[in-house]
Amino acid sequence: MIQDLIKAQLAYAIQQLFGIEIKPEAVVIEKTAANFEGDFTYVVFPLLKISKKNPEQTAQVIGDFLLQHFPELETFQVVKGFLNLSIKSDYWLRFLQSVGSNQNYGMAEPNSKEPVLVEYSSPNTNKPLHLGHIRNNLLGFAVAEILKANGHKVFTCNLVNDRGIHICKSMYAWMQFGNGETPESSGLKGDHLVGKYYVIFDKNYKQEIKDLIEKGLLEEDAAKHAPSILAAQDLLVKWEAGDEQTLAVWKMMNGWVYKGFEHTYQKLGVQFDQFYYESNTYLLGKEIVQEGLSKGVFFTKENGSVWIDLNEEGLDQKLVLRADGTSVYITQDLGTAELKFQDFNCNRSIYVVGNEQEYHFKVLQQIALKLGKTYAAGIYHLSYGMVELPHGKMKSREGTVVDADDLIAEMEHTAKETTQALGKMEGESEEALIQLYHTIGMGALKYYLLKVDPRKKMLFNPEESIDFQGNTGPFIQYTHARIKSILRMVGTHDGNFQLSNIVLSKVEKELMVKLYQYPLVIAEAGKDMSPGVLCNYIYELAKIFSLFYHDHTIMKEENADQKGFRIAACKLTAHVIKSGFALLGIQVPEKM
RNA sequence: GGUCUCUUAGCUCAGCUGGAUAGAGCAACGGUUUUCUAAACCGUAGGUCGAAGGUUCGAGUCCUUCAGGGACUACCA
């Protein structure tokens, strides 16, 4: 890396000139701001006390010294306390040649780092997926891919929340009002059908509460005694008792949902190494509770409920087992954590879960630490912000959601309309076109959701459609398609060139520097677990390329070496776009 | 009440461990194509970075206080 060379040279210069030992790693350099001449900048202000000179003089002396000892340095400029260094064009050209046709450019050695388990998606089985789930799925998938690119062995899993009162609500409503309706008879996708009864339940339940309040009950009591909630609770008891009829309905309705989810997952392009079902894991946590009691980490209250005191850690007392001996959410998660560790033997486990669960995961980690679990320190909650609508949070029960399937269909439709309006794809097969609309529509959606910092909440306005122009997935896909178009015309030209015959323009040099940064960006995205970092980078790359494309001819360039260089630059740009987008789960078309 | 978090252009967002004149896109206005894909490129306009203090040679970035949004603080999952 050139950065390391520069740091070493700077450290050497400072030691020689001012007699102060500095470790090269401790030297801070940064990219030169766009409006100044140069590639890298060293800020000399911190050095003034030891240099005993003013900022300009200090920078000047260091620059002069570097020019004599650092062969890669072309020139330097001093602006106030900033030393701007320009690297020789040859360096960038040799870089381009050295990458050549390396298909793994930017990727770390596979499986060279510790294994990581990424849990994401984690849906409830009582309703279809919505925009919030899409963000979760895309984030989980992208983070897993980025970690792979950083050399980790990565496993992915999906913990399906398939039991509990919410499913019983859908089940009860279906049993009451469904008349045996099935996905086949209704033509509805399975998860949507079940979701429909979840909404029906809620409507009915609210009406019952209203009626009871009119009869003189307090709201709180009405909510507890409404017939439908009692019936749903009764179903849950039956389910836990293993009642055959209840289990049969449960299995049937969950089956519908899974089939629906499978379709949506396939559209989203996500997949998992392992599925876990809470109906299988919810009992496991109870063993951990016993373990915690025997180790004295947990304590029992008079009514028999089991708790942990986390006041010292700045948290409250937390329930881990109910008085009736049934498990709660945290109990299950403790069990699942143990099971995941047994299955994958991973000490690092990432949970892609919304930020509303931050407290929960703090508690989970603290309990695991107190129990002395080896995997405790590696529990990491990748907490992402909610997707909000202009009027606030999405609520499935109230029907104020942006449905995943609807949105995907809408994106594909917009892609189709836009493509047809531009009329560049005439003569393509119907099959290829459908694939293209999917690629572009999903490219727009995925990029839109992934470009913002995962930790921040984001706003989605259904009234405004997701753009296809500017800082968007389709713009980047389009850039790729344009490059491919050139490369098709270039034919077999291999992009070879001699260094000596080439003069790099400003844009060309910028393009080289940008391409050079790809491995660093992958490392940074991995460290921060932020696909947004990668999105920004690829956008900037596409933007620089577009300018380069606009300003320079490739086919008609007469200087053979210059032409060869440009072809090589095109090839590498196309490769980085494709490779980077693949990490985000976004495909790029050859033509569009 | 307590804990956490957010606030940057009309809108949606970048801004790396503090560094130079705070950047994109969309929307608005204007320009660029007989020449490699105009889903592009260029330009104009738009900001006292929520407010006030502080630390520093230097603060959108760090600290304190305040204001406003949001989340969590269930024997729901």
**A39 CA to B44 C1', in Å?**
29
Distances in whole angstroms, Cα of residue A23 to Cα of each of A58, A64, A66, A67, A225? 19, 21, 17, 20, 71
Hey, how many other C-beta atoms are within 10 angstroms of the C-beta on A462? 12
- A554 closest-nt by C1' vs CA: B36
DSSP character at residue A157: E
Residue A85 confidence (pLDDT)? 94
**A364 CA to B73 C1', in Å?**
15
- A385 closest-nt by C1' vs CA: B71
- A482 closest-nt by C1' vs CA: B37
Which residue blocks in A461-559 are alpha helix, DSSP H? 473-490, 506-516, 518-528, 531-551
All structural domains of chain A, each given as residue ranges with its CATH number in brackets, are 2-87 (3.30.1360.70), 164-278 (no CATH)
- A471 closest-nt by C1' vs CA: B25
- A477 closest-nt by C1' vs CA: B39
Strands A306-309 and A317-321 come out as antiparallel
**A358 CA to B3 C1', in Å?**
11
Q: Which residue in A121, A201, A212, A191 sits closest to A166, CA to CA? A: A201
Residue A224 confidence (pLDDT)? 84
What is the full DSSP assignment across A298-319?
SEE-TTS-EEEE-GGGT--EEE
**C-alpha neighbours within 13 Å on the C-beta side of residue A25:** 0
Residue nearest to nucleotide B19 (CA to C1'): A43
Residue nearest to nucleotide B75 (CA to C1'): A322
Q: Which residue in A257, A134, A239 sits closest to A194, CA to CA? A: A257
Residue A186 amino acid letter: S
Q: Which residue in A424, A418, A459, A473 sits closest to A584, CA to CA? A: A473
Rounded Cα distance, A198 and A203, in Å? 9
ipTM for the whole complex: 0.95
Residue nearest to nucleotide B76 (CA to C1'): A165
**A38 CA to B7 C1', in Å?**
35
Rounded Cα distance, A444 and A348, in Å? 32
- A548 closest-nt by C1' vs CA: B41
**A361 CA to B72 C1', in Å?**
11
Residue A475 amino acid letter: F
Residue nearest to nucleotide B12 (CA to C1'): A459
Residue nearest to nucleotide B70 (CA to C1'): A457
Distances in whole angstroms, Cα of residue A162 to Cα of each of A10, A123, A126, A275? 59, 8, 8, 11
**A422 CA to B45 C1', in Å?**
30
Rounded Cα distance, A509 and A64, in Å? 24
Rounded Cα distance, A188 and A199, in Å? 15
Q: Which residue in A157, A326, A158, A178 sits closest to A252, CA to CA? A: A178
Residue nearest to nucleotide B69 (CA to C1'): A392
- A35 closest-nt by C1' vs CA: B21
Q: pLDDT tens, position by position, for chain A (592 residues)?
A: 899 999 999 999 999 999 888 888 889 899 888 878 889 999 999 888 888 889 999 999 999 999 999 999 999 999 988 999 999 999 999 999 999 889 999 999 999 999 999 999 999 999 999 999 999 999 999 999 999 999 999 999 999 999 888 999 999 999 999 999 999 999 999 999 999 999 999 999 989 988 988 888 887 788 888 999 999 989 988 998 899 999 999 999 999 999 999 999 999 999 999 999 998 888 888 889 999 999 999 999 988 899 999 988 878 889 999 888 888 889 989 999 999 999 999 999 999 999 999 999 999 999 999 999 999 999 999 999 999 988 877 877 777 789 999 999 999 999 999 999 999 998 899 999 999 999 999 999 999 999 999 999 999 998 888 999 999 999 999 999 999 999 999 887 777 888 888 889 989 999 999 999 999 999 999 999 999 999 999 999 999 999 999 999 999 898 989 999 999 999 999 999 999 999 999 999 999 9
C-alpha triplet A174, A179, A185: angle, nearest 5°: 95
- A81 closest-nt by C1' vs CA: B20
**A44 CA to B56 C1', in Å?**
15
Residue A170 confidence (pLDDT)? 95
**Inter-residue contact A83 to A41 (CB < 8 Å):** yes
**A455 CA to B41 C1', in Å?**
34
Q: Which residue in A576, A480, A510, A574 sits closest to A105, CA to CA? A: A576
**A507 CA to B41 C1', in Å?**
13
- A476 closest-nt by C1' vs CA: B39
**A33 CA to B9 C1', in Å?**
21
Q: Which residue in A436, A452, A447 sits closest to A476, CA to CA? A: A447
**A498 CA to B32 C1', in Å?**
34
Rounded Cα distance, A52 and A106, in Å? 42
**Inter-residue contact A93 to A74 (CB < 8 Å):** no
**A134 CA to B76 C1', in Å?**
24
Nucleotides of strand B within 7 Å of the protein's CB atoms: 3-7, 11-17, 19-21, 23-27, 35-42, 57-58, 69-77
- A31 closest-nt by C1' vs CA: B16
**A417 CA to B25 C1', in Å?**
22
